[in-house]
Each structure stands twice: as C-alpha cells, then as structure tokens.
C-alpha cells in the first residue's frame, strides 16, 4: 500500500496545484492531508475548496484551528518582535478574507486520524497528527532526544507517526526492545510542507508511505518513506504576497525556503 | 463537516458508478469506504481501480481478505458455476491492494472541550465478520462502545442500514453514542434495490452530551440493476446472486 501524505499548504494555491499534478502521476492508493491549509498567502478559500472537492481526509493544523474559530491566535511560536508583528498581520488578513463556508469546514476538522493495520500477527498503528499527539502546535524537530520521541509515540500507541508543522522533512527510525525481548522499530516521519518549505529547498514537498503486505513493527524495512519534491511557480506565490498587505518577508521565505 | 460513508460495493460497477455520480452532486468534505469491494459480481478490478484513482480512504472487509485463499483459476475451461469465481477474477495488483488495507480507521474530533471519537470498521470492532444488527441488546453494544472508546461507530457488513442512538451515561450524566450501519452500495438486503450510502454531518456543537450535533442521512441511488444482474447471469457466478440484486434480499 502506498499512501500519499501532505501538509502545511498555507494558502499557497500554485504549490497545491503542482502537488496534485505530481501525486496524480504516481498512482498512490490513498491520500491524507495533515493540516495547515491557510495563513501566509492569499488563497486560503481556494486551497480549502480544492481539498474538499477531492474528499481528502484532512486533520486540523494549528492555523486552521485558529481561523476556524475566528481567533487572532494561530498558536505559532514566533521568536522575534518582527515575527510577532508579521504574524499578527497574517492572521488578521486571513480572518478577514476567509468565507463562512470555508471557515466552517476548518472549524469541524478532526484532530487526529489513526489507521490500524493487521498485516502480520502483530497490529500496526499508524497515527496522523499535525504537530504532536499531545498538542496541535508542538514542534517535533529531528534533533529531539530519542527517549522523549519514543515516549511520545508509546503514550499515543503509535508504531508509525506522521506529522508536519515544522516544514522540515525527516524520517527517524527508533529502536526499542519489547517485553518479549524482540526489537521493535518505530517510525517518526515529518512529511515537510507543500506551500512553505523551510529546509532550504523551495520546491514543495510531501511523503509517500510504503507499507509492505506483511509489514510489522519487528521488520525495520517493511515500512518506508519516500520524500517527493516537486517544482512549482514560486515567483507567482511570492508576488502574490508582495502585491497584498501581507509582509514581504513571507515572499522572501518562499524564495529561499527558510 | 459532511462525510460520505460507502460500504459493501461487492464488485457492482453500475451501482458504484451511480453512487460516484451522486457524490458529485452531494459534494461531501471527505469520503471513506468501509470495505467489501469484491465478491458476488464480475467487476472487482474496475471497482478497485476507481477507488484507487480517487484515493478514497478504505478499510478491509471480510470478502476483500478472501482473495488471500482463492487464487486465480488455472483451469480456464471450467464451466462450473461457483461463488469463488468472483475472487478468481481479482488481478495481482488488486490483490496486493486488498491485502494491505487497514482494518480500522479512527477519527478523533476535538470540537469542544471534550473529544469525540469516530471508529470505522467493516463488521464490528471485535471481528471483521461480526454482524451488528439493529436489534442487538443495548448492554452488549454499550460494553463494546466502551471497550473501543467509540462515540460514533460506523460499519457495514449486514447490508441493512440503520442509525441508532444509545445513551451510556451514568448518574444523570449523558453520554450519547451513534451506531451507524451504512447499508450497501452494491448488494442491498433491505428490500430496496437502490444503492445505499450515508452522509454524516458533524456540527461544531457535536459532543457526547449533544446527540443532535451528529446527523445521519441515508441516500438511495437508482442504478441499472438489470445490467448488474445480467453481469452475474452471463458469468460463472450462481444465478441466485442476480435474483438477490433484483429483489434486494
């Protein structure tokens, strides 16, 4: 089974359209969206409509959670005063242009989706969250302490966990010993961002999760993540930012992927 | 949020195409399929092809798992009628798809202070083969709903659609659960030969305290039953399956 997972589109319609074109050429079995459809660009309604039109199972991101409730807090961890001031402009702009029907969609998005497989004698639980299982806006970076990462996954009962929110893709395999002495491999997979990558590569990114027919937590290679990058019209998305009230810094971050 | 739930297509391409066409009009926000894509008719690969090309999130049904045991026929000259023929038709790529499907999907809503858990299964959370019929005792269902922490339990398998609300609350505290049998797209058994599926609406006010926040609508769709029945009669499948479709039993 090959499952496409994408997230953090952030109102970037040119990137989303390029994503659909790319994923449709790859013959996947299912598609899920891990949230943050809106914020930072001018097409939040269009992005919601494109995802709804396809009936794609989608969970809420922190930005969707805020906009869905008409709140002026997106739950984002801005560090500097400039970032905070820019963030305020973005959320109030998004709240202003969001239409009722699209906002109502964001309001009732689920928080988590879990896929329970039974492909060997042991069950396999695949958990989809936006930030972390504990909090919609927790950042799970690649350098997080291994013990902490394992604890988060154990507490959530997740053998495979897919998430976004940081816009920096990675796949980490965490090894632990089970009560019966056998090795267990957990997979923590950050799927990157379609519309606002921050890993230095301005192309959009998403993941195709490969699950073998006999996949199991004890077989390390029976689950793998393919990181896909696709080119899109970055300049169009950056110009859209510059031509509206949104801070120009957001255009620059699309161009340099920071 | 409006969610479409489809189940028990059973290789009935005319019925499934009619439902897909109806979905274009309904425009739900998400679509899930609760399994049994194959068995009883001659278009398993076409049904799987449509589900895959639309990326519809799907769980396994008991008939989908049968392809592990019933392999493509070596004897291509056989003229003997058998229900096994429905599984022998399934291609290799389609077999792999069916045998790697998840068993359950859990969707957790956090719309208010509490959480609202929706669980999608084919038969029951305990068994892919269990029939959760409408008349099961309330105590039995409450025990199951608690064991699997399901506030909204969606399933198919029996091909008889219903929506039942159960209150498991104690000491004056309400806790409402929804039991939703989606009925069958391709082999209804409730006397109505039209295809059946569900549109579930989750309101922002939905919670275990407010049963009205979850609404269930059963959609019936006319399709070319005769074409589906003839598909069976012209094949090596037992003719009784065609009669089942015409009379919906």
DSSP A14-39: HHHHHHHHHHHTTT-SEEEE-S---S
Q: Can you give the pLDDT of all 249 residues of chain B as single tens digits?
A: 999 999 999 999 999 999 999 999 999 999 999 999 999 999 999 999 999 999 999 999 999 999 999 988 766 677 788 999 999 999 999 999 999 999 999 999 999 888 999 999 999 999 999 999 999 999 999 999 999 999 999 999 999 999 999 999 999 999 999 999 999 999 999 999 999 999 999 999 999 999 999 999 999 999 999 999 999 999 999 999 999 999 999
Name the interface residues of B facing A (CB cutoff 8 Å).
Answer: 1, 4, 23, 27-32, 52, 54-58, 96-97, 99-111, 115, 118, 202-204, 206
Contacts with A54 from chain B: Cβ below 8 Å: 54-55
Its ipTM equals 0.95
Residue from B8, B40, B43, B50 nearest B186 by CA: B8
Helix spans in A25-159 (H)? 44-53, 62-68, 81-97, 100-107, 146-155
pTM of the model: 0.97
For residue A108, give the nearest of B31, B102, B111 by CB distance.
B111
The pLDDT value given to residue A90: 97
Residues 6+ apart with CB under 8 A from A257: A197, A198, A199, A200, A201, A202
CA distance B249 to B245: 7
CA distance B59 to B35: 5
The pLDDT value given to residue B93: 95
Maximum alpha-carbon separation in chain A: 61
pLDDT tens figures, B79-107: 788 999 999 999 999 999 999 999 999 99
pLDDT over 90 at A248, yes or no: yes
| Smallest Cα distance from A201 to chain B, Å | 27
Number of A/B CB contacts below 8 angstroms equals 92
Note whether B29 contacts A105, CB cutoff 8 Å: yes
By DSSP bridging, strand B176-181 and strand B162-167 are antiparallel
Q: Which residues pair with B216 in a beta bridge?
A: B200
Note whether B110 contacts A118, CB cutoff 8 Å: no
Note whether B54 contacts A111, CB cutoff 8 Å: no
The pLDDT value given to residue A231: 98
Note whether A114 contacts B108, CB cutoff 8 Å: yes
Residue written as tokens 């709140």? A71
Residue from B156, B191, B162, B192 nearest B178 by CA: B162
CA distance A1 to A124: 13
């Amino acid at each position: 089974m090959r499952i496409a997972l994408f997230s953090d589109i952030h109102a970037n319609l040119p990137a989303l359209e390029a994503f659909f074109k790319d994923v449709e050429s790859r013959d996947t079995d299912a598609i899920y969206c891990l949230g943050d459809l809106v914020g930072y660009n001018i097409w939040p309604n269009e992005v919601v409509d494109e995802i709804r039109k396809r009936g794609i199972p989608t969970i809420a991101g922190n930005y969707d959670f805020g906009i869905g409730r008409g709140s002026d807090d997106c739950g984002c961890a801005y560090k500097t005063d400039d970032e905070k001031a820019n963030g305020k402009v973005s959320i109030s702009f998004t709240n202003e242009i969001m239409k009722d029907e699209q906002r109502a969609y964001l309001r009732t998005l689920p928080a988590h989706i879990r896929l329970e497989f039974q492909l060997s004698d042991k069950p396999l639980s695949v958990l989809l969250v936006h930030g972390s299982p504990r909090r919609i806006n927790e950042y799970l970076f690649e350098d997080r302490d291994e013990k902490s990462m394992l604890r988060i996954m154990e507490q959530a009962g997740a053998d495979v966990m897919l998430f976004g929110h940081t816009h920096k893709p990675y796949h980490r395999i965490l090894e632990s010993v089970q009560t019966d002495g056998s090795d267990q491999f957990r997979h923590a997979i950050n799927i990157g961002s379609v519309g606002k990558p921050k890993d230095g590569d301005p192309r959009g990114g998403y993941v195709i999760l490969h699950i073998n027919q006999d996949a199991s937590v004890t077989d390390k290679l029976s689950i793998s993540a393919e990181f896909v990058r696709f080119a899109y019209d970055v300049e169009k998305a950056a110009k859209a930012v510059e031509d509206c009230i949104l801070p120009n810094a957001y255009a620059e971050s699309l161009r340099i992927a920071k | 949020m409006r969610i479409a739930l489809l189940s028990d297509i059973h290789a009935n391409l005319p019925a499934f195409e009619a439902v897909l066409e109806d979905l274009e009009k309904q425009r739900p926000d998400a679509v899930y399929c609760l399994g049994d894509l194959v068995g009883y008719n001659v278009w398993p690969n076409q049904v799987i092809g449509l589900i895959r090309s639309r990326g519809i999130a799907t769980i396994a049904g008991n008939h989908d798992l049968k392809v592990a045991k019933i392999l493509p026929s070596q004897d291509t000259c056989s003229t003997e009628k058998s229900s096994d023929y429905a599984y022998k038709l399934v291609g290799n790529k389609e077999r792999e798809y069916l045998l790697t499907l998840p068993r359950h999907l859990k969707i957790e809503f956090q719309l208010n202070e509490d959480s609202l858990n929706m669980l999608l299964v084919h038969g029951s959370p305990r068994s892919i083969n269990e029939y959760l019929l409408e008349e099961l005792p309330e105590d039995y269902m409450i025990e199951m709903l608690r064991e699997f922490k399901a506030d909204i339990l969606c399933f198919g398998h029996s091909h008889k659609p219903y929506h039942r609300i159960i209150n498991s609350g104690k000491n004056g505290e309400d806790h409402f659960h929804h039991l939703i049998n989606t009925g069958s797209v391709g082999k209804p058994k409730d006397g109505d030969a039209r295809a059946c599926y569900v549109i579930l609406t989750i309101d922002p006010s939905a919670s275990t305290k407010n049963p009205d926040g979850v609404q269930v609508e059963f959609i019936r769709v006319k399709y070319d039953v005769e074409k589906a029945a003839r598909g069976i009669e012209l094949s090596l499948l037992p003719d009784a399956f065609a009669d089942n479709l015409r009379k919906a039993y």
